[in-house]
Structure formats: structure tokens, C-alpha cells
A = this chain, B = another copy of it.
């Protein structure tokens, strides 16, 4: 069940960003995939909340758990990005309004200037070796420039954005469509080897997100990898981030069915109930769904979703994660999970749940939360994988723990340490 938001109806009720002091540092937020549904929702929500037009629901960083951390005020975030499709953000927002109703109509008008300002900061992206499906869906063509030429150009875009806006820090976020898996070889395991591949223009060694991440790393930006693509944070690129002392984290935002799974599975362990089968079916219909309908691209996604049950429960079990494209749903993702379990005397019982959520609405605040947490990490001089953000990811980098509650305790412990000693 979903419904039109009440945004715009009672702007007076919305809580204004409290600490929008002009003296707080300005943070650049660079979105790879800048006019996709998620990026557009991120931008819309950030600007609407900054202007006091909506309440900051869904943002952990606006909840009591994050009080006193001195996080960047929303109105000190400046947005830009790379995009391969044509168009403008206001149209992208209008399209979302019409398809899902997730962006309320009044915001389309109220944010007209914000959309236009953002468009001025959107640069041409890359589809280098992105696979046929992504090229077809985006309508973009692979460019002739060498790979090295492309990363240099992408990096220049980032630097120019930073200078033009006098940004104190820069956080890049990968929001591009899920890519086909990349065959990883020795080339990807060290920066030196990978640099050679770039120089040799070996296109099969990269996906678009590899180039984006490389460019971000090369300018010292921090990085959030929000999709399951395995080509993004390859060891070579991580090496480059670490050379620059940058913090990063991934992969694949945990928003819907997997979030519920990781919240629910521990319950069965607490009671020593034996999960026999856990079948999950996801149906969704937006551009992301169309890309996932391609079997190659789906492989990345399914693997990322199916890993956690055995990890939480501690034993192998029959499980399945299905993803099907249902165009009429647009972004209103629906998941049905069936859990078959055995209790005392071997008796079999079951639980099932249906989750009906708008994907971008669930994901967008996580992006903003993590941008702010990345800035906090940077301010605290931390670099490398931000493991304390594991609770936001389906496949948290370098973290074996998938239990949402254990992950949450890790985050709250971190935030307690990060809070001023007062």
C-alpha cells in the first residue's frame, strides 16, 4: 500500500534543518548516474528538506541517534554528477511523480531552481564496456576516447566541480545501473597492473563504474558504492583510495527484502528453530528492473542478496532469491518471502511476508546518511573501508557479519565514540 505523500500540503509542519549555519563546511555530493530515479530522489529530498518543505523522515542522521555529532547540514550539500542519458532533472522528477507518485507534485514547482542548478553541474558520463542492455536502456553510445583519456576527463570534471563551488570536501556516490559481472584477473589486483591495462586501453578490463571509482580516487574524493556491480571497488581502485587517505564503503544498499531478511533471520537463531527453506521473490518495474531482466546483470544482484542467510543462521539451507521485471510496478518494488521452518518435535511451520516499498524512497536517505558519515570519517582522519556502515549494505566490504542488529550495534558504538566527549 502506498500513497501520495503529504509534502507540500503542510510545509509549516516540516522541521527546518536546524544547524544551517553559513560557517559549516560545504560538502560536494557527486552522483554517478545523476538523473536516474535514485539520484533524482536524493536530490529532491535533500533540497526539499533543506528548504523545510518536507520532514526528514527516513534519514537516520536526522534522528536522535545522531544528535550532537555535528554532521553537515543538508543545506551545505552541493550536488553534481555524471550521466549518460540526455534530459534534465526536472523532467526526471516529473516522470517519477507520474509513474509512482513518490515525488509529490508541489515539489516539482518548488524545486525548479534546484533542478536547474543541478543540471548545470551534470557532465557527460561513460558507458565503456557497459554491456548491451545498459547501452540499450540508456540510449548511450560507447565513446572512442581511450580509457586513460576518459578517466582523466572524469577526474577533471570532479576537480572543476570542487573548485567552482569552493567545496571543503567531496563525496562521490555510485548510483549507476547494475553492470554485468566483470571477469577479475591479476590485472585488477594491483594498481600498477591496472594502470597498465588502462594505458593499453584494454576495455574488457573495465566497466563504467571502474572508471568512475578510479576518477574519484584519483582526486582524493570519498566514495560510496551503492550498487552490486563487482567492477567498482576492485583491489586496484581501493589501493588508489587508500593512497589518497580516502574513506569508502560498499556494496549494494540494503533497502527492501534483504533488510527484512537480515532483521528477521536472527530471531530463528535465538529460538533454535531450524529454517528449512527461505524463498524470496522480488518484482519491480523501473529502469533498474529492465536492466536486471538481463540475466547477466541479474547474476550480480542475486548473488549479493543470497549470501546472508547461511551467514546469520550458521548452517546451509535451501534458499532462493528471484527477481522479475513487472513493468506496471515502476519503482514500487514488491517482495514475497516464504520461510519454512521446523520446531520442537520436528514440526514444520511457516512464515511469509510481503514488502511493498518504493525503492528510491528507501534508498535515497541512506545515500544522504552515508555522505554525512563519510564526511564525519574524513573529519576524524579515517580512511579505508568504513566497516561501521555495514548495516547499510547487502554485501558490506570486509565485513562478515550480516545480522542487522549486530551491524547496528557496531554503528551505534562508533557513533558513541565519534560524539564530542561532552
Contacts and interface: CB of A to CB of B under 8 A. Distances in A.
Interface of A: 1-7, 9, 41, 44-45, 48, 54-60, 62-64, 97-105, 107, 259-260, 263-264, 266-267, 270-274, 276-277, 279, 281, 283, 314, 318, 320, 322, 324, 326-330, 332, 334, 336, 338, 340, 342-358, 361-362, 364-366, 391, 404-405, 408-409
Contact of A2 (B3, B277, B357): B3
B2 A41 contact: no
A57 B1 contact: no
Given A4-B4, A260-B267, A271-B362, 5 more contacts: A41-B345, A58-B273, A104-B345, A326-B340, A354-B354
A364 B344 contact: yes
Q: How many subunits of this chain does the assembly comprise? A: 4
Nearest to A344: B58
A63 to B, nearest CB: 4
A45 B270 CA distance: 19
A404 B270 contact: yes
Contacts of A283: 277, 279, 338
23 contacts: A1-B2, A2-B347, A3-B332, A4-B347, A57-B272, A57-B344, A58-B271, A263-B267, A266-B405, A270-B404, A270-B408, A276-B328, A318-B327, A320-B324, A320-B326, A322-B322, A328-B340, A343-B362, A349-B362, A351-B356, A352-B354, A354-B354, A405-B405
